[in-house]
Chains A and B, each alone.
Chain A
Amino acid sequence: MAEMQVKDSGGGKGKPKKMSTRVDLTPMVDLGFLLITFFMLTTTLSKPQIMALVMPDKDVKLEDLEPVKEGKVLTLLLGANDKVYWYEGITDAKLDSTDYSAEGLRKVILNKMDKVQSTYGQDTYNDIKTKEEKKGSFINVIIKPTKESRYKNLVDALDEMAITHVRYYVILDVSDLEREFMKHPEKGLNFSAEEQVDANTTK
């Protein structure tokens, strides 16, 4: 317990009373630390985090496009109400849906990565920073957010790319064909490679 002895000047007016007051300083210290915590939290000492995003060039020439085997491709359609619709490749594509939890989207991506590995093996590349040889998946993910999705859905999808170490992914616009596919999945996806090339080079 804190003590602060304050001696009341007894002499002078002829009143011989001597009172000693004790002031407990613990609340004062509490107040001090409370104010410190307040200022620590309301001022900017930490910088916000950023996530880099690289978009493809708008003027893409036909000669620059590299064809990718459809067995390596996984397309994610970000829908409304935090739902992700996905399909593999473009031939006989079946639409399935999942959510953004670890058991949902991450499992879908990891399963596809396993399939790609069993068919095509692993990709060897050189790490940019350490220059050592590393192995990664050949998987190509196409993220197509729809107008009904939220910004958080896009960030979550990009996060999953980082968590599952997907090296080839791109953000593209949803096509009318895919919108039809989402509405009537049983009709299948009538995609053609020529149309896809067309859609991405004349833009």
Chain B
Amino acid sequence: MPKVKPHRNSPSIDMTAMCDVAFLLLTFFMLTAKAKPMEIVEVDTPSSISETKLPDVGTLTILVGADGKVYLDMAGSHTRRELIEQMNSQYPMNLTEKEMVQFANSGAFGVPRNRLKSWLDVEPSQRDKFVSPGIPTDTTDNQLAPWIHNARLAQFKMKQEGKVKEEYVIVVKADASTPYDAIEEVIHTLTDINVNKFNLITSMEVNPNKVGAMGGGEK
């Protein structure tokens, strides 16, 4: 083809608009989404095909690390306040008002009762340096059972007072390589205090029964 295409000025696109959109989206995400909270223990949950999502209601989370240490976390500062007041009166922990307020605003903890006071005295920003020994769950000194039992009672009381809507959903978040020993102790603790229904947190896994549905349309 001997015809030479006449040279055209290459059109230049003004990228400023694209840049504006990018920063707008960025600002949106920065302001509307909550940051992932600093976890007390890194847990790599096993995968399962289950697709049920964690409900929005208050949860009582039992975290079990790969080393078998047990930590506890419950949602709702009102319930936490009620819980710590009850625990303080039932067991010799000698907590001050300030420490109880600290507890109501804290998250997961993994210390035996006699060390709770010193844990609460540590500044929240310094807490990640504190090495937690975990809550004892052995049969001779099961401290997990009174915590969960009183937490459920506290949440029930808050529900009656109208401060929360639902009772606690009990959730177990354990690492995939946790030895079954530690899990068995947690499960026995729960069945001993008549908690027979609880949930395990798992990560996403493809359901082999549904794989065909994507391409072939067969169920």
Interface residues of A (CB under 8 A from B): 1-4, 24-26, 28-29, 32-33, 35-36, 39-40, 42-45, 47-58, 78, 102, 145-156, 158-159, 162-163, 171, 173
Contact = CB atoms under 8 A, between A and B. Distances in A.
A118 to B, nearest CB: 23
A50 B184 contact: no
A50 B60 CA distance: 13
Interface string B73-97: 0000000000000000000000000
Given A49-B48, A155-B48, A54 B180 contact: no
B107 interface: no
Chain B contact surface mostly: mixed
A165 B179 CA distance: 27
B36 interface: yes
A44 B204 contact: no
Given A43-B29, A47-B53, A156-B46, A52 B180 contact: no
A4 B53 CA distance: 49
B160 interface: no
A159 B53 contact: no
Contacts of A35: 26
Report, as a range, how many residues of chain B touch the other chain.
35 or more
A161 B113 CA distance: 39
Given A2-B13, A149-B180, A42 B36 contact: yes
Given A2-B13, A32-B23, A51-B50, A147 B179 contact: yes
B53 A51 contact: no
A50 B180 contact: no
B177 A151 contact: yes
B26 A32 contact: yes
A36 B19 CA distance: 12
A63 to B, nearest CB: 19
Nearest to A2: B15
Interface in B1-49: 10, 12-16, 18-19, 22-23, 25-26, 29-30, 33-36, 45-49
A26 B205 CA distance: 38
Given A53-B198, A53-B199, A78-B180, A158 B19 contact: no
B158 interface: no
B174 interface: yes
Contact of B29 (A2, A40, A58, A147): A40
Given A25-B16, A43-B33, A155 B200 contact: yes
Contacts of A51: 48, 50, 52, 199-202
Contacts of B181: 147
A49 B202 contact: yes
B122 interface: no
A43 B190 CA distance: 32
B65 to A, nearest CB: 11
B64 interface: yes
A40 to B, nearest CB: 6
A147 B46 contact: no
Nearest to A31: B22
A147 B171 contact: no
B219 interface: no
B50 A43 contact: no
